[in-house]
Chains A and B, each alone.
Chain A
Amino acid sequence: MAEIIQAEGKQKGGKKKAKKFSTHIDMTPMVDLMCLLITFFMLTTAFSKPKAMEITMPEKKDDPTVKAPEIAADRTINILVSGNDKIYYYFGVADPKKPPLPQLIATNYGKDGIRKMLLQRNKLVFTAVYDLKQKVTKGEEVMSDSTLTRKIKELKKTVDPKAPIILIKADENAKYKNLVDIIDEMAICTVANYAVVDIGELEKQMIAGTAVAAPVK
């Protein structure tokens, strides 16, 4: 590899001449490695462009004559998002006039947290969409991307008429990341019906642990 070439010089008499050393480093291995590294990175990396998550909010109507549509209590799941990455959920409707209040369950953003509950509740829709995606991946069914998206949308609407309706409510301490994460879970678990709505006073009290149902008359 590297070698040291000693300059041959005639030595006259007793004079000591300093021997000149010139080093010659062979760069071949370095260029080899550079070539390999460049090829590796050219083939493996891709530009990461920012992606967009679409979200549609229901129109804000301050018209008092228009009542909010009634939602079936047996299909409703309320997810409450709070600060410090805390997340809770409860089934049904929390009406202070109709005790007892539903039990608030604390969970986390991990795989065994909110996702587990959502997958269990949304089993029918999830398995249908998952099976379709597997078929397309394995090549058993062939369709374009847009057709696949359209079919998934249809499946979400039709497969389970009792599919859960999720209401996402965030309190003042929630961070933006928490909201994006929970909407992402909706997409991961292929939930068809969900909406981001305002949190109610009672729910804030439920989180704080101070909720009290109205006394039974």
Chain B
Amino acid sequence: MPKIKAPVRTPHIDMTPMVDLFALLLTFFMLTTSFRPTEAVVVDTPSSISEKVSPEKDVITILIGKDNRVYLNFDNGKDTAVLIRKEVLKKMAEQYQVTFTDKELKTFSTWASFGMPIDKMKAWLNTPDSKDREKFNVGIPTDSTDNQLNLWVRFIRLQNPYADVAIKGDSDADFKAVKHVMDILQDNQVNKFNLTTNLQKEEAKLEE
């Protein structure tokens, strides 16, 4: 009998279901995720063994860049009727005799971290392109002649006394700058801070 040779056929996989799934996943993520607003400065935080998760809501974040410039971020609070960012900006405007239109106030309440003297804020709020906005971020003045950070923190705490304070400092920032920020916070009766770090586990062992 002649040998029956099975014809050699290469496997042919139908990729249609895989592409289907990718399309579904892509649509899902396109609809559910939202862009995180870019931070005013890129901060490379030091590492520590601390495992406590950094609070994300109801927190005042003070960012300290490598060049010791100070930036600020805070959220609108839980009450959707009172936009804390708007109220704080109004108070700062009163203090420094700057006026903001309603549209500018509303824009401010939707944006995130910022860092500029209050007189430059109007121009910043009116720049729609986020790339152009980057040049405004020169840092909030903290020197004793014009301590704007002190007022910002005071007004935020008046609006929301229960907010936590997080200091997100760059590893290479001078400790002096961070100490200055801590002094300003202590002047506003904040004595407990959260220093934002990334996790790096270390185990200590006693050597006899």
Contact = CB atoms under 8 A, between A and B. Distances in A.
- Tell me, yes or no, whether A binds B: yes
Interface of A: 3, 24, 26-28, 31, 48-60, 81, 115-116, 119, 123, 126-127, 130, 170, 172-181, 183-184, 187-189
A57 B192 CA distance: 6
B197 A50 contact: yes
A55 B187 CA distance: 16
Nearest to B196: A50
B183 to A, nearest CB: 7
A177 B187 contact: no
A81 B147 CA distance: 28
A52 B204 contact: no
B10 A53 contact: no
Nearest to A24: B10
Given A170-B175, A180-B195, A52 B187 contact: no
B202 A53 contact: no
Given A57-B186, A60-B187, A27 B175 contact: no
Contacts of B64: 176
Nearest to B193: A55
Interface string B175-208: 1111100110011000111111111001010110
A179 B171 CA distance: 9
A59 B192 CA distance: 10
Given A175-B173, A176-B173, A126 B196 contact: no
Nearest to B13: A28
Given A50-B197, A177-B171, A179-B175, A57 B52 contact: no
A183 B182 CA distance: 15
Most A-side CB within 10 Å, residue of B175, B193, B196, B207:
B175
A53 B175 contact: no
A184 B174 contact: no
Contact of B176 (A126, A127, A172): A172
B127 interface: no
